[in-house]
Amino acid sequence: MKSEFSQSAVTVLAYHFWKPNGYEEAFAKVEHAFKETWRHCGRLKTVLVVNETAPCVERFSAENDNVEVQIEPSLIPGKIFTMSADMNSRLYTRFTTPYVLIIQGDGYPLRPGLEEFIGKYDFIGAPYVRISWWRNLICHILGYWMSNGGFSLRSRRICEAAADFWPTYSKFHPSDMTVEDLYYTKTLPLRHPDYRFKYKIAPNTVAIRFSYDALVQQPVKELPFGFHRAMTVEALERKGSDEISDSDRA
């Protein structure tokens, strides 16, 4: 069934929070990720969330009128959990479209095809769970599919649900132990009231067409829409899966 949404329903968003030393070098990768996304998906609305501005960020924004820069002082360089806390509690405030495509300097589209995934699920990311019949059965019964958030497509409504539940959940769980993608794809389905009846996470059969992370799930039959982590591309080229260990996951 064709989706009622087009690519204009999607904002592409990335976080960048580095110490001054190496800030511009690291930002060059993020800029490349944005440009590759635009090349494959068109000039989407674009949001860049940074801990502080810099000449490279100001230049990028000035050169591209579709880019909005948002400064978030709570992002601490080297502390990835500060990004998770922001995504768990405030991500929905950072975009106005029905969907947001999260990218990183090492995670972005490899080909056109975004429209295939819009409007069908509330969260799509590379599968964290190795594919097997019994794992798929457990995930189906419990209503959750753990997925990688580094390159992911999310609905605005799931971001709102995440923020709504965050004050309750964070009271009993330290923010530095609450990784955002597992919060969205495991915690919410199992802990949020009525979650599994309202929000849909893409199952593995869909997720592996959307993205691979460093844990390549199975021999590759077709290029996924995108990837997360540079070594994933090398693994895709090898068309193998067993050479990548669990410890290599993002």
Q: If you write DSSP's letter for every residue of the chain in order, what string do you get? A: ---S--GGGEEEEEEE---STTHHHHHHHHHHHHHHHHHHH-S-EEEEEESS--HHHHHHHHH-TTEEEEE-TT--TT-HHHHHHHHHHTGGGG--SSEEEE-BTTB-BSSS-GGGTTTT-SEEEEESSPP-HHHHHHHHHHT---EEEEEEEEEHHHHHHHHHHHHHHHTTS-GGG--HHHIIIIIHHHHSTTHHHH--BPPHHHHHHHEE-SS--S--SS--SEESSHHHHHHHHHT-STTS-GGG--
Q: What is the reported pLDDT for 7?
A: 80
The answer to whether 175 and 85 have CB atoms below 8 angstroms apart is yes
Q: What is the reported pLDDT for 25?
A: 93
Q: What is the reported pLDDT for 65?
A: 96
Q: What is the reported pLDDT for 4?
A: 67
Determine the Cα–Cα distance for residues 208 and 175; give it in Å rounded to an integer: 29
Determine the Cα–Cα distance for residues 167 and 165; give it in Å rounded to an integer: 6
- Domain spans, the chain: 7-248
Q: What is the reported pLDDT for 171?
A: 81
Determine the Cα–Cα distance for residues 173 and 167; give it in Å rounded to an integer: 10
Q: What is the reported pLDDT for 241?
A: 39
Q: What is the reported pLDDT for 244?
A: 34
Determine the Cα–Cα distance for residues 56 and 166; give it in Å rounded to an integer: 33
Taking the CA atoms of residue 235, residue 87, residue 35 and residue 223 in that order, the dihedral angle to the nearest 10 degrees is: 30
In tens digits, the chain (250 residues) has pLDDT values of: 455 677 889 999 999 999 888 899 999 999 999 999 999 999 999 999 999 999 999 999 999 999 999 999 999 998 999 999 999 999 999 999 999 999 999 999 999 999 999 999 999 998 875 556 556 666 666 667 777 889 999 999 999 999 999 998 888 877 656 889 989 988 888 877 677 678 888 988 888 899 987 655 555 667 899 988 755 555 555 544 333 333 333 3
Question: pTM for this one?
Answer: 0.85
7-248: CATH class: alpha beta
The answer to whether 131 and 40 have CB atoms below 8 angstroms apart is no
Q: What is the reported pLDDT for 115?
A: 95
